[in-house]
Copies of this chain bind each other. A is one copy, B any other.
Amino acid sequence: MVQVNENYLKLPGSYLFSTIGKKVSAYSAAHPDRKVIRLGIGDVTLPLVPAVIEALHSAVDEMGRAESFRGYAPDLGYEFLREIIARQDYQARGCGISADEIFISDGAKCDTGNIQEIFGPNIRIAVCDPVYPVYVDSNVMAGRTGSYDRESETWSNVIYMPCTEENQFMPGLPKETPDLIYLCFPNNPTGAAVTKPKLQEWVDYAMKIGAVILYDAAYEAYIQEDDVPHSIYECRGARSCAIEFRSFSKNAGFTGLRLGFTVVPKELKCGGVALHALWARRHGTKYNGAPYIVQRAGEAVYSPAGKAQLQEQIAYYRKNAAYIFNGLKEAGYTVSGGVNSPYIWMKTPGRMTSWEFFDYLLEKGNVVGTPGSGFGPSGERYFRLTAFGSYENTVEAVDRIKAL
């Protein structure tokens, strides 16, 4: 009799954003006349920019002609995309990352979810609290997290690094020693950004204890301040202790197009084994590449026209972020994030829990946000709003919240 993976059964409830989606669908079905504004899930709303659309059309045409048709993509992605990423995202910032250290994929969610596979079953992970649920859930599925305590909403074998108002949502080095450290900056969900000296401390720490940092830089495009690093490889020594994840979802609106990449430097080794070889093996065995047309769209993101158009797009979302941040502040809420990040992290009013505030906001204001507690126990009594709506909707949502 076949057995299921019992670790799956330990997962409490369903995936955060699925739950939100169901709640919103149910509310909308019951109140078809109400205009619900979604500032919850981190999904973009502006259309793809013209340079990307043009690249897609042109690649589609290539796929329709025998002489330019492309079948299976190279395992690690097309050279044209990896080269331009290496040059513009890394070498231009003084990070010595080469094209063959870049693995193209269909998004950072898949990569941050799958990366744990190349590590042993008994390693210990450290995560920020609150945190993007995929990091923890994928390790639960792999059986690394011990048992779940419903009271504290924590796993016995996970090291939590609280990010609170007291530490300005910037985690301190953990007291217990981890093997894998998940860091995301600019942070999801708190919107906090790390400075270069602070990130250097993490790199130094990881090197000292022989840990690997999994650095999620999906929100890099929102960085505005000079002392905030765009890549962990701006830090000394990171090539030997860090893997970096990037996404096209938030800098180019590819949430529905699916493109991302992971950087695994060749000198990153654990017990003499190069992680680059392991990740390459995983890619080669369980993945078949991002679509050619989408990789061409990714290339267009780095073209002069694409960059100019996307700067405008990001400026639009930044304006939203500022509007939410300032509006809520004026209304007396405690808010953070929103400067180097599309996320605004607010304290719930009064003694409301995150889900109470979610329901309250959905029902009274018809505004959807994300309950902070969905990201971990330290997210309780917090709430995340995103800047990815239209400007008109964002203004209306903030006005509605103010009016409550």
**Chain B minimum-CB-distance residue to A53:** B64
Of the candidates A41, A106, A114, A209, the one having the most CB atoms from chain B within 10 angstroms of its own CB is A106
Give A288 Cβ to nearest chain B Cβ, in Å: 5
A87 CB–B CB distance under 8 Å: no
Tell me, in angstroms, the Cα distance from A275 to B9 when the chains sit together. Answer: 11
Q: Flag if A18 contacts B284 (CB, 8 Å).
A: yes
Q: Flag if B109 contacts A106 (CB, 8 Å).
A: no
Among A253-306, those with CB < 8 Å from B are 253, 255-258, 270-271, 273, 275, 278, 281-282, 284-294
Q: Flag if B45 contacts A69 (CB, 8 Å).
A: yes
Q: Flag if A138 contacts B286 (CB, 8 Å).
A: yes
Q: Flag if B63 contacts A1 (CB, 8 Å).
A: no
Give A7 Cβ to nearest chain B Cβ, in Å: 9
A211 CB–B CB distance under 8 Å: yes
Among A66-108, those with CB < 8 Å from B are 66, 69-73, 75, 106-107
Which of B6, B41, B285, B390 touches A137 (beta carbons < 8 Å)? B285
Give A137 Cβ to nearest chain B Cβ, in Å: 5
Give A249 Cβ to nearest chain B Cβ, in Å: 8
A351 CB–B CB distance under 8 Å: no
A311 CB–B CB distance under 8 Å: no
Give A136 Cβ to nearest chain B Cβ, in Å: 10
The answer to whether residues A286 and B134 also contact, given A43-B72, A64-B50, A73-B256 and a CB cut-off of 8 A, is yes
Q: Flag if B4 contacts A281 (CB, 8 Å).
A: no
The answer to whether residues A113 and B72 also contact, given A5-B278, A6-B120, A118-B8 and a CB cut-off of 8 A, is no
The answer to whether residues A70 and B256 also contact, given A60-B57, A60-B60, A64-B48 and a CB cut-off of 8 A, is yes
- Interface pairs (22), CB distance under 8 Å: A1-B209, A1-B211, A1-B271, A2-B120, A4-B271, A5-B119, A8-B278, A15-B284, A15-B285, A18-B75, A18-B284, A45-B66, A47-B66, A48-B64, A53-B63, A56-B60, A71-B256, A72-B255, A107-B288, A113-B285, A133-B285, A256-B292
Which 4 residue pairs of A and B lie closest in terms of their CB atoms, listed nearest first? Answer: A3-B120, A113-B286, A1-B210, A2-B179
